[in-house]
Structure 1
Amino acid sequence: MENWLVKRAKLDPNKIALILEHADFTFSELNSTVQLFAGKLYSSGIRQNDPVALFTDNCFNGYVAILALQQLGTRTIFLDTELSQATLTYQLHDCNPKMILISDSANTREIKQITWNKAFMSDILSLRKDPKYQPISEFTDTQVSSVFYTPSADSNDTGVMLTYGNYFYSAMGTALNLGINKKDSWVLTLPLFNVPGFIIIMRALIYGIGVYLIDGFDIDHINKVLINERATIISLIPSLLRELLNNLPKGQRYNDNFRCIFLGTGRIDNWTLLRCNMLEIPVLQSYGMTETTSNISALNFDDAEIKAGSCGQPFFTTQIRITNINQDNIGNIELKSPTVAVGYLNKQELYQSRFTEDGFFKTGDVGYLDDDNFLYIKGRQADLIYSGDKIIYPEEVENIFRSVNGIIDICIVGIPGKDGKEVPVAYLTMQENAFLTSADLQEFGQHNLVDYQVPSEYRQIDKFPKSTNGKILRNRLLNLDYKTI
Structure 2
Amino acid sequence: MHNPQVDYNIAGSVLKRAQLDPGKRAIIFESTQRSYAELSERVCKLAQNLRDHGVCVGDRVAYVGLNHPAFLETMLAAQSLGAIFVPLNFRLTGEELTFIINDAGVNTLVADDALAAVIDPVRADLCCTRYIGSESAEGDWESLEALISASEPLTSFIQTQQDDVAIIMYTSGTTGRPKGAMLTHGNLMWNNIQAAFALPALASDVSLVCAPLFHVGGLNVTTMSCLQAGGCLLLHRSFDPAATLSDVAQHKVTTMFAAPAMLLFMAQQPEFADTELSSLRMIVVGAAPVPKSLLAVFNERHIPLNQGYGLTETSPLVSFLMSEYTEAKLGSAGKPGLFGEIRVADASGDSVAAGEVGEILYRGPNVMKGYWNRPEATAEAIDEKGWFHTGDAGYLDEDGFLFISDRVKDMVISGGENVYPAEVESVLFEHPAIAEVAIIGLPDDKWGEAVTAVAALNPEASLTLDELRDFADGKLARYKLPLRLHLVEALPRNPAGKVLKFKLREELA
Give 1:265's aligned residue: 287
Q: Which moved more, 1:394-403 or 1:347-356?
A: 347-356
Between the aligned partners of 1:135 and 1:400, the Cα distance in structure 2 is 57
Verify the 8 A CA contact 2:442 2:450 in the aligned structure 1: yes
Q: Which moved more, 1:318-327 or 1:146-155?
A: 318-327
Shift of 1:88: 1.1
Q: What does the per-residue CA deviation read over 1:361-387, in whole Å, with 9 as the maximum and x for residues that have no partner? A: 111111111222111111111111122
Structure 2 residue 138 is matched with structure 1 residue 125: no
Verify the 8 A CA contact 2:354 2:397 in the aligned structure 1: no
Give 2:177's aligned residue: 156
Between the aligned partners of 1:202 and 1:377, the Cα distance in structure 2 is 26
Alignment of 1:47-446 (within 5 A): 47-104=56-113, 106-115=114-123, 116=126, 117=128, 118-121=131-134, 122=136, 123=142, 124-127=144-147, 129-131=150-152, 133-136=154-157, 138-199=159-220, 200-247=222-269, 249=271, 251-324=273-346, 325=352, 329-419=356-446, 421-446=448-473
Verify the 8 A CA contact 1:161 1:343 in the aligned structure 2: yes
Q: Which moved more, 1:107-116 or 1:320-329?
A: 320-329
Q: Tell me which amino acid in the other structure corresponds to 1:95.
A: A
Between the aligned partners of 2:459 and 2:382, the Cα distance in structure 1 is 47
Q: How many residues matched? A: 481
Verify the 8 A CA contact 1:167 1:202 in the aligned structure 2: no
Q: Which moved more, 1:338-347 or 1:204-213?
A: 204-213
Aligned Cα RMSD in Å?
2.2
Verify the 8 A CA contact 1:229 1:255 in the aligned structure 2: no
Q: Secondary structure at the match of 2:48?
A: helix
Q: What does the per-residue CA deviation read over 1:163-218, in whole Å, with 9 as the maximum and x for residues that have no partner? A: 11111111011110024332223211111111111214422333222211111112
Verify the 8 A CA contact 2:60 2:86 in the aligned structure 1: yes
Between the aligned partners of 1:301 and 1:407, the Cα distance in structure 2 is 27
Give 2:3's aligned residue: none
Shift of 1:143: 1.8
Q: What does the per-residue CA deviation read over 1:271-294, in whole Å, with 9 as the maximum and x for residues that have no partner? A: 111111111111111100000001
Q: Tell me which amino acid in the other structure corresponds to 2:98.
A: T
Shift of 1:256: 4.0
Q: Secondary structure at the match of 2:15?
A: helix
Verify the 8 A CA contact 1:228 1:255 in the aligned structure 2: no
Between the aligned partners of 2:65 and 2:30, the Cα distance in structure 1 is 18
Verify the 8 A CA contact 1:171 1:206 in the aligned structure 2: no
Shift of 1:402: 0.8
Verify the 8 A CA contact 2:406 2:422 in the aligned structure 1: yes
Which ranges in structure 2 are unaligned for 5 or more consecutive residues?
1-6, 137-141, 347-351
Verify the 8 A CA contact 1:234 1:261 in the aligned structure 2: yes
TM-score (norm 1): 0.93
Shift of 1:248: 5.8
Specify whether residues 333 and 251 from structure 1 end up closer, same or farther in structure 2 by C-alpha distance, changes over 3 A only.
closer
Between the aligned partners of 2:163 and 2:227, the Cα distance in structure 1 is 18
Verify the 8 A CA contact 1:178 1:301 in the aligned structure 2: no
Specify whether residues 399 and 108 from structure 1 end up closer, same or farther in structure 2 by C-alpha distance, changes over 3 A only.
farther
Between the aligned partners of 2:93 and 2:489, the Cα distance in structure 1 is 20
Specify whether residues 343 and 373 from structure 1 end up closer, same or farther in structure 2 by C-alpha distance, changes over 3 A only.
same
Q: Tell me which amino acid in the other structure corresponds to 1:114.
A: V
Q: Which moved more, 1:363-372 or 1:134-143?
A: 134-143
Specify whether residues 66 and 84 from structure 1 end up closer, same or farther in structure 2 by C-alpha distance, changes over 3 A only.
same
Q: Tell me which amino acid in the other structure corresponds to 1:119.
A: I
Q: Tell me which amino acid in the other structure corresponds to 2:182.
A: M
Verify the 8 A CA contact 1:166 1:341 in the aligned structure 2: yes
Shift of 1:63: 2.9
Verify the 8 A CA contact 1:144 1:163 in the aligned structure 2: yes
Q: Which moved more, 1:435-444 or 1:188-197?
A: 435-444
Shift of 1:253: 5.0
Q: Secondary structure at the match of 1:19?
A: strand
Verify the 8 A CA contact 2:443 2:449 in the aligned structure 1: yes
Give 2:47's aligned residue: 38
Verify the 8 A CA contact 2:29 2:68 in the aligned structure 1: no
Which portions of structure 1, spanning 4 or more consecutive aligned residues, are displaced by more than 6 angstroms? Answer: none
Q: Which moved more, 1:285-294 or 1:365-374?
A: 365-374
Verify the 8 A CA contact 2:64 2:115 in the aligned structure 1: no
Q: Tell me which amino acid in the other structure corresponds to 2:146.
A: S
Q: Tell me which amino acid in the other structure corresponds to 2:47.
A: A
Shift of 1:33: 2.1
Q: Which moved more, 1:59-68 or 1:324-333?
A: 324-333
Specify whether residues 109 and 23 from structure 1 end up closer, same or farther in structure 2 by C-alpha distance, changes over 3 A only.
closer
Specify whether residues 431 and 135 from structure 1 end up closer, same or farther in structure 2 by C-alpha distance, changes over 3 A only.
farther
Specify whether residues 400 and 92 from structure 1 end up closer, same or farther in structure 2 by C-alpha distance, changes over 3 A only.
same
Structure 2 residue 473 is matched with structure 1 residue 452: no
TM-score (norm 2): 0.89
Shift of 1:34: 1.9
Verify the 8 A CA contact 1:40 1:125 in the aligned structure 2: no
Specify whether residues 234 and 250 from structure 1 end up closer, same or farther in structure 2 by C-alpha distance, changes over 3 A only.
closer
Q: Secondary structure at the match of 1:372?
A: coil
Specify whether residues 135 and 412 from structure 1 end up closer, same or farther in structure 2 by C-alpha distance, changes over 3 A only.
farther
Verify the 8 A CA contact 1:13 1:27 in the aligned structure 2: yes
Q: Secondary structure at the match of 1:480?
A: helix
